[in-house]
Amino acid sequence: MNQTRIAIAGLGAIGRAVARRLTDGLPGLSLACIATGNADKARTWLNEQKIDCPVVELEEFPKHADLAVECAPAALIERICRPMLEVGKQVMVLSCGALLPRQDLIDLAKAKGGRIIVPTGALLGLDAVAAAAEGTIHSVKMTTRKPPIGLVGAPHLVKNNISVEGLNTAKLVFSGTAREAAAGFPANVNVAAALSLAGIGPDRTMIDIYADPAMTRNCHTIEVDSDSARFTLSIENIPSENPKTGKNVALSVLAMLRKMHAPLAVGT
């Protein structure tokens, strides 16, 4: 079996989980290199985990890997994607909200024969949404409820002086389009961007975001009305060690990577 060499950008909760599983072994996949903001800290962790993997700069990914997995702050998406796409390689993007204003990266992938992959992440049912989009989707509405700590520091809250501290009841902190949500909550609602890319686009996909002190999980509900089906999907994600993201995100990355070389691939 041909091996697909994987680079990981970012060594937070998601990056570490992916690195561990790749080291344990996934058919047809190997861990090629890692890039992170703190190389010394990364090397210490890799040594503790007995993972033999070079720590490199983002721009060096094309020399080492066939596919880069982005598990980093959205601000780094250009440095992660562009070098790989320039040489016709693949990038798996978790900060997909950062793709919305960067059509040029999608154009670059098309021109050079590269590919941008967006995993399901913390959401569910993107295959059903994508199938419905082959027909006509009339509306897509998403409602997100998160523990307040998972929203602290979001640019939309800071800009509008919205506090989520000391809440006793749920507070609606945002209502608008997926494009606006991606800009206002870049670390929190990439799920909305993924949903919009699978369906009717970021300007027609609507989202409400609640800071809810009763929540211990990151909860998302999707309502879709189309000419082929009407459906509602709900998921409750257990937060990872990073409260802004759920444990299911890393597992979604691994599931998509595994499918690349699987003899049986299930789902759209």
Q: What is the pLDDT of residues 102-129, one digit of tens each?
A: 999 999 999 999 999 999 888 888 999 9
- Looking at residue 1, its pLDDT comes to 56
User: pLDDT at residue 226 above 80?
Assistant: yes
| 56 token code pair | 């490199």
Are 134 and 231 within one domain?
A: yes
Q: What is the span of the domain harbouring residue 87?
A: 4-121+248-259
CA distance 224 to 232: 6
- Looking at residue 197, its pLDDT comes to 95
Are 170 and 239 within one domain?
A: yes
User: pLDDT at residue 170 above 70?
Assistant: yes
Q: Establish whether 138 is a catalytic residue.
A: no
CATH number of the domain bearing residue 169: 3.30.360.10
CATH number of the domain bearing residue 110: 3.40.50.720
- Looking at residue 203, its pLDDT comes to 97
- Looking at residue 121, its pLDDT comes to 85
- Looking at residue 129, its pLDDT comes to 96
- Looking at residue 135, its pLDDT comes to 98
Question: Could you tell me the pLDDT band of residue 31, with boundaries at 50, 70 and 90?
Answer: very high
Return the SS3 of 12. coil
pTM of the model: 0.90
- Describe the strand order of the beta sheet including 218-226 as a list of residue ranges: 171-177, 205-211, 137-146, 218-226, 230-237
Strands 4-9 and 115-117: unpaired
Residue 215 — φ and ψ, nearest 5°?
Answer: -85, 140
Domains in the chain, number: 2
Q: How many CB atoms lie within 10 A of CB 259?
A: 13
Q: How many CB atoms lie within 10 A of CB 33?
A: 20
